[in-house]
Structure 1
Amino acid sequence: MTAVDERGVAEFFEGFEPPDGLKVELLRGEIVMMASPDLLHNLNVLLTERQIPLDRWYPLQTQDIDIVDEASEPVPDLVVVARDALPASGRLMPCSLITMVVEVVSKTSVQRDYDVKRSIYAAGNVPAYLIVDPIMAQCVLLTRPKGEGEHADYQRQQITKFGAPLPLEELGLELDTSQFGTFPNARPHRYP
């Protein structure tokens, strides 16, 4: 897809009104629509959000992100921003203000969460990307972003099984994963 095409898609996306009950993201010039998340998904987001101290951070749900030099406007399950970095308003949160994004894997989002969004968030230089995976009962913490565009990636990857504590150095806390739920009878995947 050419840069002109991506700009056109981005302009279209700006005014697009999705049908009720659908989550919509722009990922590298592609409009991706998903059904509303599963209850287990929402509970894992809630259990993560509740552990982030509001005296220092704002954990925000359904916040669109502006990734510089990308035809992408992802909507992570959770965006963590320092309280003093939060802008007064706006639909798009500049990626330069974000400390961490969280994606909870669903049965249909595995490839997007582990592959596409990994390079998008790294290209946006988001310091930490946490993948909570109820299919594999693990968290994958990605840090130290490097590179540009589709070649961007995180230089450090830490896998923590549900039940073990997960240090989140970027936030200065340890995440308790013992209450995170898993999808029953889910087919394992090959990621990360």
Structure 2
Amino acid sequence: MIEKPTPIDTEVGAQTFEDLLHTVEEMDTPDGFKAELIRGKIVVSPWSKLRYFLPMESLKEQLKPHAPDGHATDYAPFLFSFPAAGRAYGPDLFVVDRSIFQGDGRHGDAGALALVAEFTSVSTKDADWCEKLQVYGQLVPLYLVVDMQDREITCFSDPSPSGYRSHRTVSFGKPLTVPAPFDCEIDTTDF
């Protein structure tokens, strides 16, 4: 596998969103890779590099005590579907209602997400800042973009049908305020 995301083209109109989602769920991706539905295509991309672990762990541990009751905070490789947008993403880090883990399916309903965070890489930066920002911005209450190349973190909040209405960006090393339902400050010095 190559270092950058690899789209798998499908014949336009040949498969429905549910067909593509089923295909993604059944894929046997190599260790260290994940499959998502981005822009109507199945995209296989590498999981984050080792140096991303410490910032991910720091963010997870800081968010966890402030997560809404009944929510899990993790970075396990789970897929969340956005049927209205025809998308399914496996965020780098997420906070989600624990009840979704009681089902037998292989993907969760994105409506159960309270927060997602994506850690940019050279190969995923465009999707994290454009594609995912647009889709998350219509449903997910909070979206954190941890821009590992520009050394900044942005918190998007207040989703609407046309996208997030508010955002705040700080450089690594400065605190970032995360609004309700978390109402906390993230220390980014370890990022």
Match of 1:110 in 2: 125
The CA distance in 2 between the partners of 1:63 and 1:17, in whole Å, is: 14
The CA distance in 2 between the partners of 1:5 and 1:177, in whole Å, is: 43
User: Which stretch has the larger CA shift, 50-59 or 31-40?
Assistant: 50-59
Q: 1:163 aligns with which of 169, 173, 191?
A: 173
52 and 86 in structure 1: CA distance in 2 versus 1, 3 angstrom threshold: farther
Question: RMSD of the alignment, in Å?
Answer: 2.1
CA contact (8 A) 1:167 1:174 kept: yes
1:87 Cα deviation after fit: 4.2
TM superposition score normalised by structure 2: 0.81
Q: 1:68 aligns with which of 49, 68, 83?
A: 83
The CA distance in 2 between the partners of 1:53 and 1:14, in whole Å, is: 27
Q: Which runs of 5+ in 1 are unaligned?
A: 181-192
Answering whether residue 147 of structure 2 is matched by residue 133 of structure 1, we say: yes
Match of 2:39 in 1: 28
Answering whether residue 51 of structure 2 is matched by residue 40 of structure 1, we say: yes
CA contact (8 A) 1:28 1:70 kept: no
CA contact (8 A) 2:79 2:88 kept: yes
Match of 2:163 in 1: 153
Identity %: 25
The CA distance in 1 between the partners of 2:31 and 2:155, in whole Å, is: 32
The CA distance in 2 between the partners of 1:77 and 1:14, in whole Å, is: 17
Match of 1:186 in 2: none
